[in-house]
Amino acid sequence: MTAEIWDVIIVGAGLSGLSAAHLLRKRDAKLKILILEGKDRVGGRTVSTAIPAANGVDRWDFGGQWVGSNIHCSLIKELGLETFPQFNIGKKVYHLGGPGARVLTYRTSIPALSPLVLMDLTQFLWKIDRLCATVFVQDPSKTPNAVELDSMTLHSFIEQHGWTAELREELGLCSRSVFGMEPSQMSFLFFLMYAAAAGGLLPLLENTAGSAQEFKIKGGTQQLSECLAERVGRKNVRLGSAVTAIWQGAEWARVMTATDTFLCRAVIVTCPPHLAAKIHYEPALPSQRAFLTQNMPVGHMIKFIITYETAFWKDKGFSGEIVSGSSTGSPFCVTFDATSPNGNAALVGFIAGQQASQWTSKEVMERRKAVISSLVKYLGSEAASFIHYEEKDWAKEDYSGGCPVNVMAPGLLTYYHPSLRKPCGRIHWAGTETATQWCGYMSGAVQSGQRAALEVLAELRPMTLTQEEQEAVRQGQTVEGPARPTLSSRITYLPTSKAAVIAKKKPTLPVHS
Amino acid sequence: MTAEIWDVIIVGAGLSGLSAAHLLRKRDAKLKILILEGKDRVGGRTVSTAIPAANGVDRWDFGGQWVGSNIHCSLIKELGLETFPQFNIGKKVYHLGGPGARVLTYRTSIPALSPLVLMDLTQFLWKIDRLCATVFVQDPSKTPNAVELDSMTLHSFIEQHGWTAELREELGLCSRSVFGMEPSQMSFLFFLMYAAAAGGLLPLLENTAGSAQEFKIKGGTQQLSECLAERVGRKNVRLGSAVTAIWQGAEWARVMTATDTFLCRAVIVTCPPHLAAKIHYEPALPSQRAFLTQNMPVGHMIKFIITYETAFWKDKGFSGEIVSGSSTGSPFCVTFDATSPNGNAALVGFIAGQQASQWTSKEVMERRKAVISSLVKYLGSEAASFIHYEEKDWAKEDYSGGCPVNVMAPGLLTYYHPSLRKPCGRIHWAGTETATQWCGYMSGAVQSGQRAALEVLAELRPMTLTQEEQEAVRQGQTVEGPARPTLSSRITYLPTSKAAVIAKKKPTLPVHS
């Protein structure tokens, strides 16, 4: 068996790997680039699937779906794709607080919470934003008091600083919706870093201008990867080719799948950390790197789409947004309107974190029954007359094993973080977990792929880099420079008086998958 | 390539795998058992190596070395091995508390701490022991208040309940010495479970009767595995054979290495969780199991042995025990006398946790210089005239990648623990991390191997099991039943009056690697 020879091999044909390849080819069209992907499709954690709908069939995102207007929209435009806003007009449903809690609805951006809980929320968000402003995203270990912040879980911080049980439940739901994980499972400093990389906590949670859930892509987000794969050349993307080992020698890196061996000058590994940890490396990676990737838990989300003849909830004055949880008997934590640009009515929802862990082993019919039963309770009996229920359990997806993102358990940021992006010989690291802006999002995936591509170009084709880019690579930074959101940048979202702050806060809308 | 056919394949030729094989063969000598091991030796996390010493060469343990008198001593006897006690007579050195701290020495079991710190230690140990007594080791999620205890790090508990900075530093050192990890890196409930599985916290830390550091094995602990391998038959142990994939079908499990394929009826996977997570399973393991093994961080220890012409420290009245840390400029956290039964003088010490992380990337000469320099400071200039310095960095050991044990990050025990020992089809799980008595120790490795062997026998040779054993397997328990130490069992170590409790406490001696 003779080994094929390439310039660059990219592990993973998700947004990160394809963005890397795209940039490499833009800078030097002669570079021989091969992308190896374990799945039988491109797109990684984005996948758009056609399911039965009111007008025949239509396509919905079963992975990452939302993009913000400030999130690499240049790529969306470059690829000729269009966005449309998340529908959010009408009554929102809020049902947390235990079995006896009332179902609340509200039309404004203020949930119908008691003044005490709103006060609590305000003081909590204020504390988080103050701390976020101190985080140095590029190297969180330089954050003031980093060891202390990294030695506690998000849960512990919530216990200490959330006054009301309602707020604590609400924050658990936010954690589940954003990370597919409970607040106990991540470092508080990691949480701050993640929020800081998005410009603050509210941008993670809202669907207003500049936040994570503002827009969707017509036809689905997987098109980003499909279009990039076309530009990179389909012959350069090998599906069903999971990388099992990477050997590095003086002249070459040798990349192996179960059946093939490839030689190349540089490798970009873009798969999530828990999958990168499964690859066998020779020589072994530095132990700090091994400890890091072995210990970044990935979240657990089951995403469902339900199609209907009509968007009956809109007719009844609902927006489609429901926030609920296991304490009130619901399997999902949040739903939204998902009516397609073609007018096919649908709802999207998420079973996440602990709830995903509880529901994953049950039969799909049982989950469907529980979901529909909750929707009937909140939106009316029309919810029972659906056309199609389709779901995706990301924990069961080969070469994903979880979604939406890997977090860091306590103690990792302060001890092992420097190895997150640091190249190991010919191996460069990408994937949204390595991003410094919108870490964990599609935008972060693109940023990380581009950053890794520049690192590779600095080695193989230094003349194609600007001086600024060369300097950034030398300093191990992204071209944009450290993404360090400041309180002042956050303040553009916030009115100045405390009352107004309360009035503007929306505790819900926390999903970005 | 035709596949070899076996009854049982065991992944890993450490104490756990070899104990499983030993029990299987005892029950049915005709069972065809194959052990596949990635390393080029048996013993897993135990390895005994000959190095230059006063009388030529002698053998020391560079992995697990201590056994307690109550720890599976039947196996030690059965294999014809002898134990000898850990030497602990003479002055002990204690140097924590920052750069300006005095070097303290003491001869009794009471460290020369201020009464305030001793009080603090006492109240802290009392709290831990009270909580340990509530832990149900077999299923920690049934512990009262389990979610809360599992949602915080050990660090957070120490911050809340340790009054003095001295105690908090001391407890960090204990964590480093016992787990090779910082208190921020593990769930507090996991810590309680671990202590409970040893009968309480003090047995983990002491070298008194019944505790973890009581005895060593003449000639080294690797002999346990060597002797077991002889009994199992060397031809049934294949070294250099790392398992890469396990496929399960209706009739067989198919176990693959890079070069070979084997068929069998049952598989016992004994390697540490982070290595078990690297194996490719078809069909995929249940997601709860995958989430668990992907998120059990392994500790980091560098163990060193230094041989001398004479045990000069004994002549000077020292025991050889030194407790120090980075705050007082020492690279190691603890040393002990390691003079061999043949009379070859030696000291053993540990660079662990955060300190290992700092020192691992330096050259061996730099570490040696720092270690010797600290020894000179504490024991006198004779420490500089050593015969040989030998060390083992377990993070760099192939098919280990860390030592002594994998812990659980917060949130794992309450959500994913049930999958720790639950067989997945034909695959059974062993390894010291799955033990319910002396989890993390050699004893736990033996217990877990035997438990997995009984599970396999219940499937393949049910007639070889007693009724009690069959019942235990059915209930997913170890034969000994749940190892639930009670406060009363701990009280046998403790006098009843508070003053006496203070007097008897020894905060140091925390190492078990």
Q: Where are the alpha helices (DSSP H) in A353-441?
A: 354-359, 364-379, 412-416
Q: Please say if the pLDDT value at position A235 is more than 90.
A: yes
What pLDDT does B399 receive? 95
CA distance A300 to chain B (A): 9
- Give me Rg for the CA atoms of chain B: 22
Residues of B in contact with A158 (CB under 8 A): none
- Which residues does residue A131 pair with via DSSP β-bridges, in sequence order? none
Q: Is the domain B110-205 a CATH 3.20.20.150 member?
A: no
DSSP state of A123: H
What pLDDT does A489 receive? 29
Q: Which amino acid is at A394?
A: W
Q: Which amino acid is at B75?
A: L
State pLDDT tens for residues B90-129: 999 999 999 899 999 988 766 778 889 999 999 999 999 9
Average pLDDT over residues A91-110: 88
State pLDDT tens for residues B458-498: 999 999 999 999 999 988 766 543 333 332 222 222 222 33
State pLDDT tens for residues A325-352: 989 999 999 999 999 999 999 999 999 9
Q: Please say if the pLDDT value at position B70 is more than 60.
A: no
Q: How confident is the model at residue A397 (pLDDT cuts 50, 70, 90)?
A: very high
Q: Please say if the pLDDT value at position A494 is more than 70.
A: no
> Taking the CB of residue B488, how many other CB atoms lie within 10 A of it?
8
Q: How far apart are CA B7 and CA B5, in angstroms?
A: 7
The upper half-sphere exposure of residue B2, i.e. CA atoms within 13 Å in the direction of its Cβ, equals 3
Query: Is A287 in Cβ contact with B396 (below 8 Å)?
Result: yes
- Comparing CB atoms, the residue among A156, A300, A409 nearest residue B151 is A156
Q: How confident is the model at residue A418 (pLDDT cuts 50, 70, 90)?
A: confident
What pLDDT does A475 receive? 84
Average pLDDT over residues A79-88: 92
State pLDDT tens for residues A31-59: 999 999 999 999 999 999 999 999 999 99
Q: How far apart are CA B444 and CA B45, in angstroms?
A: 13
What pLDDT does B72 receive? 61
Give A158's contacts (C-beta < 8 A, 6+ positions apart). Answer: A124, A168, A171, A172, A183
Return the residue of A nearest to B279 by Cα.
A278
Q: Please say if the pLDDT value at position B58 is more than 80.
A: yes
Residue B480 among known ligand-binding residues: no
Q: Please say if the pLDDT value at position A464 is more than 80.
A: yes
Residues of B in contact with A278 (CB under 8 A): 277-278, 280
In this structure, are residues B192 and B143 in contact, taking their beta carbons and an 8 Å threshold?
yes
Question: Which of A159, A161, A287 to mutate to probe the B interface, most B CBs <10 Å?
Answer: A287
What pLDDT does B503 receive? 30
Q: Please say if the pLDDT value at position A148 is more than 60.
A: yes
> Taking the CB of residue A128, how many other CB atoms lie within 10 A of it?
21
Question: Which of B1, B39, B151 to mutate to probe the A interface, most A CBs <10 Å?
Answer: B151
- Which residues does residue A266 pair with via DSSP β-bridges, in sequence order? A8
pTM for this model (two decimals): 0.90
Sorted by where each begins, the domain ranges of chain A are: 5-44+221-294+409-475, 66-90+213-218+299-396, 110-205
What pLDDT does B71 receive? 57
Q: How far apart are CA B337 and CA B85, in angstroms?
A: 11
A361-365 contacts: CB < 8 A, separation 24 or more? A361/B286, A361/B288, A364/A391
State pLDDT tens for residues A308-327: 999 999 999 999 999 999 89
The CATH number for B66-90+213-218+299-396, chosen from 3.30.420.40, 3.10.105.10, 3.90.660.10, 3.40.50.1820, is 3.90.660.10
3-state helix, strand, coil in chain A (%, to 5): 40, 20, 40
What pLDDT does B489 receive? 29
Query: Is A294 in Cβ contact with B274 (below 8 Å)?
Result: yes
Sequence-ordered strand ranges (E) for A108-233: 215-217
Question: Which of A141, A156, A244 to mutate to probe the B interface, most B CBs <10 Å?
Answer: A156
ipTM over 0.85: yes
What pLDDT does B295 receive? 85
What pLDDT does A67 receive? 85
C-alpha to C-alpha distances, A292 to B58, B121, B412, nearest whole angstrom: 37, 33, 17
Q: How far apart are CA B276 and CA B278, in angstroms?
A: 5
Average pLDDT over residues A368-379: 98
- Which residues does residue A245 pair with via DSSP β-bridges, in sequence order? A256, A280
What pLDDT does B103 receive? 94
Q: Where are the alpha helices (DSSP H) in A233-363?
A: 273-276, 287-293, 312-315, 354-359
Distance of CA A13 to the CA centre of its chain: 16
Give A407's contacts (C-beta < 8 A, 6+ positions apart). Answer: A179, A181, A185, A186, A187, A190, A191, A194, A296, A297, A298, A299
Q: How far apart are CA B338 and CA B303, in angstroms?
A: 12
The CATH number for A5-44+221-294+409-475, chosen from 3.40.50.620, 3.60.21.10, 3.50.50.60, 3.10.20.740, is 3.50.50.60
CA distance B393 to chain A (A): 10
Q: Which of A236, A261, A265 is nearest to A249 (CA)?
A: A265
State pLDDT tens for residues B23-45: 999 999 999 999 999 999 999 99
* Average pLDDT in chain A: 89
CA distance B480 to chain A (A): 30
DSSP state of B268: E
